Amino acid sequence: MFGRPTRTIVCPSCGRLTRADASECLVCGRRRPGAWGLTSSLQKLFRSGGVTDAITVACIALYVASLVADPLGALRPRGPLDLLAPTSRALDMLGMTGAFAWAEGRWWTLLTAVYLHGNLLHILFNVLWIRQLGPAVEDVYGPARLFVIYTAAGVLGFVASNAIGVPFTIGASGAIFGLLGAMVAYGRRRGGTFGGLVLRQYGQWALVLFILGFFMSGVNNLAHAGGFIGGLATGWVLSLAERRAETFYDQLLAGALAVLTIAGFALALWTALV
Ligand SMILES: [Zn+2]
């Protein structure tokens, strides 16, 4: 009566409710459906809205960290379009990517640089787009798949620009182009009038933003193109939420990418400080 209440989880195999501490799922008989707590942790982490919020918080926290790491440099007066810009030294310490980091074998910067931003306008613009597109992608794919798309697109965007030789780069915009690409993939796969509308809407946004990039200085257009293709391809491969609900394995893949990203920040700090 007064013991710890039995937690209920969604079984990774059959998708029905079962007890987290059961040795076998009561419905399908899967052994250890709770996977020693992993199932419920993943289900908490990849709940509705959780991924968009977590990405927002990570971007803001790392922007603040990049300012605090070298405050005098960040406060040095620049133009209004380059307000509160962290120094290259601070960004490099937190995992800025580019051909330079790539040549030194710092592969983890492909993951970490997605969460770093170069000034106040840069982060404001990107966070607004993440909060606009994250819920839409989550709606049609699911929260864990949203994180897989975001990460894959961010990484592929930087792979493209590092390979061509862009020396230093940061920012979520490649990943954001990936979210647009995933919505275009959804529109194409869904088809019909609604699918056509989605495809046109997000395709137009991607095109306008891509062209805009050529009129602004310091924009990594290669990362935008690479990110869009990455999101399009990932969105093409992943299941749509309306056809197949997210499984334990979608959450496991997203969880592994989250752990790898956090490990990337640890590696960035380790190589910078030790
Ligand atoms: Zn089951």
- pLDDT 10s digits, 20-57: 889 999 899 999 999 988 998 899 889 999 999 999 99
Tokens of 136: 């839409």
For the stretch 64-76, pLDDT in tens is: 999 999 998 888 8
- Are 207 and 159 within 8 A, CB to CB? no
Question: pLDDT, tens digit, for every residue of 92-146?
Answer: 999 999 999 999 999 999 999 999 999 999 999 999 999 999 999 999 999 999 9
CA torsion angle for 7, 10, 13, 18 (degrees, to 10)? 40
Q: What is the pLDDT of residue 76?
A: 82
What is the pLDDT at residue 72?
87
As a whole number, mean pLDDT of residues 176-204 equals 97
**Ligand 1 centroid to 245 CA: how many Å?**
15
Is 173 one of the catalytic residues?
yes
pLDDT for 4: 59
Distance 36 CA to ligand 1 centre (A): 15
239 an active-site residue? no
pLDDT of residue 2: 54
- Distance from Cα 31 to the centre of ligand 1, integer Å: 9
The whole-number pLDDT of residue 1 equals 47
Q: Which of 48, 117, 173, 239 is catalytic?
A: 173
| Dist. CA 70–CA 89, nearest whole Å | 8
